Amino acid sequence: MGSSKKYDLDQRTYTFARSIRTFARKIPRDIGNIEANESLSRKDFFYRIKICRKEAKESFYWLRLLHLRNDSELEKDRKILIDEATQLVKIFSSIVHQQGAKSG
């Protein structure tokens, strides 16, 4: 890499994520800015459900890793979010399992 400039990818990705969050808060919440729930086919629907399950599992994982410095209010919110992530994983897993039962 011919550049003498050093890039700190940890800081760069952190800054990017914060910028995305700030940007997302500014976007008007209307139907045109929400991803469609509709799928193109039954196979596509279950593919999307598997992605949702994966994302819920990942959210659960990262929520558990957070260190909140004994902030009881944040800890309460975190526990609520962990519970919600757990429930979503179970819901999406059930849908995937039902699809497997119908296909097999």
Which CATH number fits the domain that encloses residue 28?
1.20.1440
Segment 29-39, tens digit of pLDDT: 655 545 555 65
4 domain-assigned:
no
Count of the separate structural domains present in the chain: 1
What single-letter amino acid sits at 29?
R
The whole-angstrom separation of Cα 49 and Cα 43 is 10
Segment 62-101, tens digit of pLDDT: 889 877 778 888 888 889 989 999 999 998 899 888 877 7
Q: Give me Rg for the CA atoms of the chain.
A: 19
The whole-angstrom separation of Cα 17 and Cα 24 is 10
C-beta of residue 64 within 8 angstroms of C-beta of residue 82:
yes
Average pLDDT along the chain: 79
The whole-angstrom separation of Cα 82 and Cα 59 is 8
What single-letter amino acid sits at 64?
R
Global pTM reads 0.61
Task: Give, rounded to a whole angstrom, the gap between the first and last alpha carbons of the chain.
Answer: 52
3 domain-assigned:
no
50 domain-assigned:
yes
Structural domain boundaries enclosing 47: 9-103
2 domain-assigned:
no
Copy the structure tokens of residue 21: 């969050």
